[in-house]
Structure 1
Amino acid sequence: MTASSAGYELRFCSLLNDRRTYVFPCDAQGCVDMDSLDEQSRTTYLYARAVMGRELAWPQVRPLPALNKSTL
């Protein structure tokens, strides 16, 4: 699964005032294919999961915005 084929993103927003947001490609159920992530993204994803509810809010699954072909 790649970001463009996934169609959805899993978004972790900061509970602190630093406004950090972590975003990962996922499916409609919020499942991230960790094998498709590079090492740094995989490490960041595991960090985000570990600090849910303390530093980061529970993640939200959002559809990726549709590309407007007239602007391409």
Structure 2
Amino acid sequence: MNTASTQRFEVRFLSLFREGRALAFPCDPSGLVDLDALTERARSNYLFARAMVGREYAMPTLYAS
């Protein structure tokens, strides 16, 4: 049985132009990403993806596993 405490969440930014390409980042159940927990490269990619929503990436989607 999956509960909120055992589920893992991630926010995904799907590419608008390259099918199957996306950037994904761990987050909490509400979709908040802990920037301090990301590596420098991941933080840079996350900020880039957020800035490029509507240009390169679709609106982020929350996924649970």
How far apart are 1:6 and its partner, in Å?
Answer: 7.0
Residues 7 and 14 (structure 1 numbering): CA distance in 2 closer, same or farther, change over 3 Å? same
Point out the structure with max Rg over C-alpha: 1
1:67 is aligned to none
Identical pairs, percent: 45
With the length of structure 1 as denominator, give the TM-score of the two structures.
0.76
How far apart are 1:56 and its partner, in Å?
Answer: 0.2
Segments ≥4 residues shifted beyond 4 Å? none
1:51 is aligned to 52
> Which is helix-richer, 1 or 2?
1
1:70 is aligned to none
2:3 is aligned to none
More relative contact order, 1 or 2 (CA 8 Å, 6+ apart): 2
1:23 is aligned to 24
- Extract unaligned runs of 5+ from structure 2: 1-5
CA RMSD of aligned residues (A): 1.6
Give the residue type in structure 2 aligned to 1:28.
P
- Extract unaligned runs of 5+ from structure 1: 65-72
3-state SS in 1 of match to 2:23: strand
